[in-house]
Structure 1
């Protein structure tokens, strides 16, 4: 899961087990390497029999491919509500079915688990296990059965290693329908989040000029959804924020590449800047844009982040992500000031200040920013979505950065030498 470096919180998907060794996954691995991310969501629809007996070996081949590519997976056990109407039907199963699945998956794929020992691979494996992607879209799974499935999964995983993390598969309807109850699936698992069996909430956020317009203020930030959902659940425990799918939709009024690049930079830091109940402690565990490997041919124009296939090359949002990780990939988030829209990160060679200078998002947007720089600072670099804007000599301490264009996100890099 999330490590000491920002790039260890960034990834993509899906590393689908049925595609192991095939061209689409080679393209996705190339994209992950190309932007500098280190994680991937690995999913399977074939992880158990019709009798609900776990078949963890379904993941074996793709785990080996991920290891060869130095991409750390989180494991997603897929289940759709439509399975209940198949012939023969595939019911979601009981607490005990999901306990058995969690136990089998964790025992096999955790670091130094069965799979690692069989393949001579030490200290590497999955530490995050998730299940049932976007249950609130079809909304056909009974809420109690959904609760019991996740309770069983969590207890099964934790019976192998209590330090492993279990998270419900991503939710979609706070984004798409402004529904903080997630069509009832949120409150259904509130007790599992409250008692710590589930580590956090995974939200899928597709910013859209019509349905989720981040240009219209902080009401359309992921922080707003996260806070509303926790309130609807009645949570008092701080939980982690996960995002296995997010992007700027290049549709409608947002098709222009320059606008899409600018908005993607703001969206990225919106995802990485989620805070807990105290209003300033970072709680983002991971953030995966969708979809790094796809071209328009595969995913249409809205979310495809690849310009070409074989070899992979990034379109504008992929270029922006690559730039972010080149600047901040080896850094760690230090502090978040939501009212001012300021995030501070530090790494071995530099520090970074991110400013979300967006009207409606912060208390004091404008063309100037007052900063307190480290005493050792002798130069700052001003970066925007399109690259380096300025290099400015400084002498540490109080500093006023002026001449800025409003309504965008800036990254201010402070090199240590």
Structure 2
């Protein structure tokens, strides 16, 4: 995978999860969901990646990796650990720098492209390129900050001792979204030096938009970009870092308690995640955007976040259909420009350009029922797409072109097919 976000196609960024290692062979639902929307990646997590003596057991991933390969899904590896493990009987402390160095080295040796596992299975050019650990440490906030730092330093150094170009990222953070805490309860500043020197490639933020406590309808203040910028400032970073999202969703609850409301706003959420920019303010640094959870039904994840209505076969809920629409339209495209002021993003593909417009007050400086677009020289027609699919096709001309008859508080995608 390219390390420059602007070089990535949209379908190289969208995925889902979890692909749990001890459920290998029992994961048909999540694979049906990933295939159903056209996603190509998955977060693969393990609870059995080391012994009680903290000796790595990379073979725990073997069966799940084979299942992912057979299903055409590229895994991101997550080593699970949470603060409550310290109070188990027997206790499972987080471990030392050397413990995590050994784990990172073992996982990278086995599962990187060209690694031991790939050679053993006759697929030497395939494997994981992103390694993560310790999901949402800021929720329980029981891991000592220095121990957390040393664990991630060890993991990164261990992975990079095998292949320096592999990427290491801390497991997702939750509390900027849930509590407005840009320090991530202290865990952000604790790893600032690892982000500054490049051992960690970026940060993973979990964003659950909600009409009460994270209402995107009140403007860009409630965007993932806002959290990303505030967190970097709290860390005092000067280096540009990449953005990751292994969990995001729009809660179907409260004022958004309908398929229509949740799906309409989910389209805005997808582009919020995909169009995060770095210091230049004009090009994406978003490496991943994984909705949570494409495979779950309400009996598993509750009505608010479940993105499936049926299990056998997997049946998509309205938000999953939005993901499918985005991937059908833009999966093969790359973002070529971002205008944060107008909330317009231009993507280019071999068969068309796509212009995304977040027509929500507080996101664009010019919200309303019409938009001015700058169309390419070869323009002959224009397609207007919303969260529910194709709305209309119209004749169009190159240069400045106005599209009217649009709804307020909606994100639109304008496809300009090549003649």
> Given the two structures, how large is their TM-score scaled by the length of structure 1?
0.98
Once residues 89 and 43 of structure 2 are traced to their aligned partners in structure 1, the CA distance between those partners, rounded to angstroms, is: 29
Q: Does 1:267 align with 2:286?
A: no
What secondary structure sits across from 1:285 in the alignment?
Answer: coil
Structure 2 residues not aligned, in runs of 5+: none
Correspondence 1:20 to 2:54: no
1:378 is aligned, of 358, 380, 403, to 380
CA distance in 1 between partners of 2:409 and 2:211 (Å): 15
Q: Which residue of 1 aligns with 2:220?
A: 218
Alignment partner of 1:304 is 2:300: no
1:63-110 residue CA offsets vs partner (Å, 9 max, x unmatched): 000000000000000001011111211110000000000000000000
Give the drift of 1:211. Answer: 1.1
Alpha-carbon distance in 1 for matches of 2:133, 2:311: 30
- Corresponding position of 1:126: 128
Where does structure 1 lack aligned partners over 5 or more consecutive residues?
Answer: none
Deviates more, 1:46-55 or 1:364-373: 364-373
Q: How far does residue 122 in structure 1 lie from its aligned partner after superposition?
A: 2.5
Tell me, yes or no, if structure 1 residue 333 matches structure 2 residue 301: no
In 2, the alpha carbon distance for the partners of 1:14 and 1:153 equals 21
Aligned position for 2:142 = 140
Aligned equivalents of 1:63, 1:134: Cα separation in 2? 24
Deviations 1:259-308 (A, max 9, x none): 11100000110001100012112100000000000111111101100111
Helix, strand or coil at the partner of 1:43: strand
**What is the alpha-carbon distance in structure 1 between the residues aligned to residue 228 and residue 284 of structure 2?**
13
TM-score, normalization: structure 2? 0.98
1:368 CA displacement: 1.8
Q: Name the counterpart of 2:11.
A: 7
1:136-215 to 2 correspondences below 5 Å = 136-215=138-217
1:410 has 2:416 as partner: no
The answer on 1:363 being equivalent to 2:365 is yes
Counterparts of 1:18 and 1:232, CA distance in 2:
38
Structure 2 partner of 1:56: 58
CA distance, structure 1, for counterparts of residue 46 and residue 225 of structure 2 = 30
Aligned pairs (5 A) from 1:336-351? 336-351=338-353
Q: Which moved more, 1:249-258 or 1:136-145?
A: 249-258
Q: Does 1:102 align with 2:104?
A: yes
Give the superposition deviation at 1:240.
0.4
Q: CA deviation at 1:247?
A: 0.1
The two structures, once aligned, show a CA RMSD in angstroms of 0.9
Say whether 1:281 aligns with 2:283: yes
Distance across 1 between alignment mates of 2:369 and 2:211: 25
Distance in 2, matches of 1:355 and 1:341, equals 6
Count of residues in Structure 1 that have an aligned counterpart in Structure 2: 415
SS in 1 for 2:289: strand
- What are the within-5 Å matches in structure 2 for residues 236-275 of structure 1? 236-275=238-277
Give the Cα–Cα distance (whole angstroms) in 2 for the partners of residues 4 and 132 of structure 1. Answer: 26
User: 2: distance between equivalents of 1:100 and 1:393?
Assistant: 61
Any idea what the Cα deviations from partners look like across 1:119-141, whole Å, max 9, x if unmatched?
00121100000000000000000
